[in-house]
A and B are shown apart, each in its own frame.
Chain A
Amino acid sequence: AQTVTQSQPEMSVQEAETVTLSCTYDTSENNYYLFWYKQPPSRQMILVIRQEAYKQQNATENRFSVNFQKAAKSFSLKISDSQLGDTAMYFCAFVDHNNNDMRFGAGTRLTVKP
């Protein structure tokens, strides 16, 4: 079974600092996709960044970047220059090439402090 684990239930960071959220996953598949989603309080889930497993280059989207370690099945999210608006639950997610169902971790609650 494919599982996603986020070992940090809560994290905090000072505004303008950098923070890294951890995620590990378990799968026997070789072709899959990984995502980080952001869910602000009482608001809908927003896609932050995606990574294709067949790509060795780590994905980046502005202040957001990932460290994808396929052999270690690790997929961490780095947020640079943290902003107050980054305060949210962050979910790591996995889907295989069949795209039938997305598996989510339990989430990390990130608080950016002024």
Chain B
Amino acid sequence: EAAVTQSPRSKVAVTGGKVTLSCHQTNNHDYMYWYRQDTGHGLRLIHYSYVADSTEKGDIPDGYKASRPSQENFSLILELASLSQTAVYFCASSDRDDTEVFFGKGTRLTVV
């Protein structure tokens, strides 16, 4: 069964600190995504990647970086965490551009 694993599942970070959210998929999928979920905004795409060693900006990339060192791993990096980045973050993967997207269970990030 397709699996996307996120770590950590929750994190409290200090304003101005660096945060790294990790994602690992065992689906052998080429496409990976990072979404942010906030009440009233649904799922918003931050960064995505369709091949290892390459990342693309999504719809709300400001304040975030991404890294795809291998097909299986995709990280989201907040170099200087801010209060406004408190949210739930989801990693996802998919095969082709017309197929189902598989999501991880999410990471709840609280910036204080």
Q: Do A and B bind each other?
A: no
* Residues on A facing B (Cβ under 8 Å): none
